[in-house]
Structure 1
Amino acid sequence: MTIAATDEAVHVRAPGKINLFMRVGALQADGYHDVATAYQAVSLYEDVRAWPDDEFSVSFGGSIDTSGLPVDSSNLAIKAAKLLARTAGVPGGVHLEIDKHVPIAGGMGGGSADAAATLVACDALWGTALSKEELHALAAKLGADVPFALTGGTAVGTGRGDRLSPALATGQFHWVLALAEFGLSTPGVYRELDRRREERPESAPRGISPVVDVAVLQALRAGDARRLADALHNDLQAAALDVAPGLGGILELGESNGALAGIVSGSGPTVAFLADSTDAALELQVALSAARLNAVRVHGPVHGARIMH
């Protein structure tokens, strides 16, 4: 069912994300939690190039250390390519070259961005011409953050984070990311959250499905960074700070150097600081860099995975 397969490499770029808001429901029988999150795609990208090949393989480059990443079939990008090939009945394989800039195990969905970019790249490479809905369904099978990396922008995610509804955001928001030298295990941070809730049952959610606060959506719609700063929230933050206590000092440093607010993104350890303007973001980046932190300025929202010509 291939229409117009190509011999050239297909280049797709997909964004990392920040969780502006994250509410985590009770632990479910399947071992997962219901969440309600507000995602924003930001201008820190993964670049995936896909070449026709007989086998499935992946290699890495980019600005971060990728030496610890698996290149076998456990890699999420390889899983994405194989899933698409199986679904569409494509006989061949693909060689993927991924330039990584989103931190690994950093709470920014870098692996999910790779998977989303791979779906778009292989769809174009093999001419499988899947609809948006079909690609979205494949993305949801790969992981909770993969559908958002496909769509980008700003969105509310419910369920495991994979049921998306777009959220209107006006203008641009300026962020400074403090990227850690280490990763945090998402399941490990969730386990810590569950442990904290067992110790303090009064802090545990009461059976109702979590929702995103209206204040977050209103601030996004108004394009108002100060209002958004007041509404930022992450149920996983205290657990991430328990697992990696040094993050507390980073949050304090950013907030004492002009950030409107700081938040641990997702399960961490990336800390995202919201700034009032480009100039304020630049000053904050300089201050964090002076403290020997790896600080990167980004803006959002940006589009999801798309082919670069």
Structure 2
Amino acid sequence: MSSVTVRVPAKVNVQLSVGPLREDGYHDLVNVFHAVSIFDDVVARESDSITVAVTGDWADLVPVDDTNLAVQAARALAKHAGVCYGADLVIHKAIPVAGGMAGGSADAAAALVACNELWGLRLPAEDLMRLAADLGSDVPFSLMGGTALGTGRGELLTELPTTGTFHWTFAMADGGLSTPSVYAECDRLRATPSRGFWPEADAGLLAALRDGDPHALGRCLSNDLQPAALSLRPALAVTLEAGRRLGALGAIVSGSGPTCAFLVEDAAHAARLAQALPERAPIRATATAHGPTPGATIL
């Protein structure tokens, strides 16, 4: 096999509850992930070394050196399998970079799946999930897709039942936000250190997902990192309010931001919102999507 193409989705956090800071520097989380139909495609071609190139709207923001998470994923896989194979990786970007939608994590997950297939390793999903967890907290969910509850630092996943399809509009900001910076700002803004409690999944939110009720889900969206993202990027408040005024059922910063996510009635509502938002908010681009969608998938 000379090349493999893997498609991998973006995610939105419909609940992100941030608990105590752990001794390892991470926070305990309750993280309800939802995969949506904004995709990166990662192509892996036979090579003597591991390299990466990037195309697409966000290509200028993606590193093409050893700091690229897809490169790190391919090397981790080769080391785990005890092989010296190479791969030329080409990432076709549609997921925003540093936008709170797991773009880098998605590419790492895709690289694991693509190289596992390209090199004929046939490693089981359990092995790939363990490698994914070592690469980053969001990488396991990018492999899994669908809708899932993430605990620990987000890497311990339990699949959640959902009914039907949820429709979204996303507003992408100019520039990104550093995830560590947003967590640090979250800690700074909290009057009392977040020790001594354990966040829990919202029962109403889980029921809304299970019942396929977008109105109930819109009322339950929550993100403990949102105040920190707004503190670092005040213009996001304008974007969120514009979406609410345009009829969004729910409005939230996705993950550590700065992408804003709007839950809507249906695909037509998503399209109308995507068209209207740029006239009312300081954003770079909009996109419509639906979820849940599968995780990293070989095309």
Query: How does the TM-score come out when normalised to structure 2?
Result: 0.97
2:295 pairs, out of 285, 304, 307, with 304
Q: Which residue of 2 aligns with 1:50?
A: 44
Q: 2:214, 2:287 → 1: CA distance?
A: 18
User: Offset of 1:206 from its aligned partner?
Assistant: 4.7
Alignment of 1:55-70 (within 5 A): 55-62=49-56, 64-70=57-63
Range with bigger deviation, 111-120 or 287-296: 287-296
Range with bigger deviation, 48-57 or 286-295: 286-295
Q: 1:26, 1:93 → 2: CA distance?
A: 40
Q: Percent identity?
A: 50
Q: 2:194, 2:208 → 1: CA distance?
A: 25
User: Offset of 1:289 from its aligned partner?
Assistant: 3.2
Does structure 1 residue 88 correspond to structure 2 residue 77?
A: no
SS in 2 for 1:67: helix
**Contact 1:88-1:128 within 8 A present in 2 as well:** yes
Q: Partner letter of residue 272 of structure 2?
A: E
**Contact 1:90-1:126 within 8 A present in 2 as well:** no
SS in 1 for 2:61: coil
Q: Partner letter of residue 149 of structure 1?
A: S
Alpha-carbon displacement from aligned partner over 1:56-95 (angstroms, at most 9, x marks no partner): 1000002x23223221212100000001011112222110
Q: Assess, with a 3 A threshold, how the Cα gap between structure 1 residues 111 and 260 changes in structure 2: closer, same or farther.
A: same
Question: RMSD of the alignment, in Å?
Answer: 1.1
Q: 2:23, 2:294 → 1: CA distance?
A: 35
2:187 pairs, out of 160, 183, 194, with 194
Q: Partner letter of residue 196 of structure 2?
A: G
Q: Partner letter of residue 289 of structure 2?
A: V
1:238 pairs, out of 197, 219, 227, with 227
Q: 1:89, 1:53 → 2: CA distance?
A: 17
Q: 1:123, 1:45 → 2: CA distance?
A: 20
Q: 2:84, 2:70 → 1: CA distance?
A: 18
Q: 2:72, 2:197 → 1: CA distance?
A: 34
Range with bigger deviation, 23-32 or 247-256: 23-32
1:166 pairs, out of 152, 159, 167, with 159
Once superposed, which parts of structure 1, at least 4 consecutive aligned residues long, lie more than 6 Å away? none
Q: Which residue of 2 aligns with 1:295?
A: 286
**Contact 2:19-2:29 within 8 A present in 1 as well:** yes
Q: Which residue of 1 aligns with 2:100?
A: 107
**Contact 2:61-2:97 within 8 A present in 1 as well:** no
Q: Partner letter of residue 163 of structure 1?
A: L
Q: 1:74, 1:300 → 2: CA distance?
A: 30
Q: 2:86, 2:7 → 1: CA distance?
A: 20
Range with bigger deviation, 40-49 or 279-288: 279-288
**Contact 2:58-2:94 within 8 A present in 1 as well:** no
Q: Partner letter of residue 60 of structure 1?
A: V
SS in 1 for 2:262: strand
Alpha-carbon displacement from aligned partner over 1:82-123 (angstroms, at most 9, x marks no partner): 010111122221100000110100000000000000000000
Q: Partner letter of residue 250 of structure 1?
A: T
Q: Which residue of 2 aligns with 1:3?
A: none
Q: 2:14, 2:121 → 1: CA distance?
A: 35
Q: 1:253, 1:70 → 2: CA distance?
A: 33
Alpha-carbon displacement from aligned partner over 1:196-252 (angstroms, at most 9, x marks no partner): 11xx22xx5451221211111100000000000111000000010000000000000
Alpha-carbon displacement from aligned partner over 1:23-48 (angstroms, at most 9, x marks no partner): 00021222110110100000000100
Give 5+ residue unaligned stretches, structure 1.
1-5
Aligned length, in residue pairs: 297
Q: 2:117, 2:135 → 1: CA distance?
A: 19
Q: 2:110, 2:195 → 1: CA distance?
A: 38
